[in-house]
Amino acid sequence: MELVPGNSLITATPQEGRELAMMIARKTIGAIQPDAEVRQLLRPSYATSADSLTAAGHVVAVEFATIAAANNYWRDASA
């Protein structure tokens, strides 16, 4: 399973970085719980839990922070 598409965290824009963070977070959950039926069964319980949704947001934020650092925070768009 390819968890980092193209084996790179480099993106052209912060938007692409955010999209990559979301994709990596989803792939991580899929790697942790590979059974799609189990994920579907669990979804209703976490979809209505503020704590679960906050935790999921935190996972994406951590992934995005990692991607942003790898991209030098997109400081020099002309490079």
Q: What's the pTM?
A: 0.79
Q: Let me know if 26 is exposed, middle or buried by CB neighbors in 10 A (0-12, 13-18, 19+).
A: middle
Q: Looking at the domain assignment, is residue 20 inside a domain?
A: no
Q: Looking at the domain assignment, is residue 13 inside a domain?
A: no
Q: Looking at the domain assignment, is residue 51 inside a domain?
A: yes
Q: For the chain, what percent of residues have pLDDT higher than 70?
A: 94
State the CB neighbour count (10 A cutoff) for residue 4.
Answer: 12
From 5-9, 36-40, 59-63, the region with the lowest mean pLDDT = 5-9
Q: Looking at the domain assignment, is residue 46 inside a domain?
A: yes
From 5-9, 16-20, 59-63, 72-76, the region with the lowest mean pLDDT = 72-76
Q: Looking at the domain assignment, is residue 78 inside a domain?
A: no
Q: Looking at the domain assignment, is residue 48 inside a domain?
A: yes
Report the number of distinct structural domains present in the chain.
1
For the chain, what is the mean pLDDT?
90
Q: Which domain holds residue 58?
A: 37-71
Task: State pLDDT tens for residues 27-57.
Answer: 999 999 999 999 999 999 999 999 999 999 9
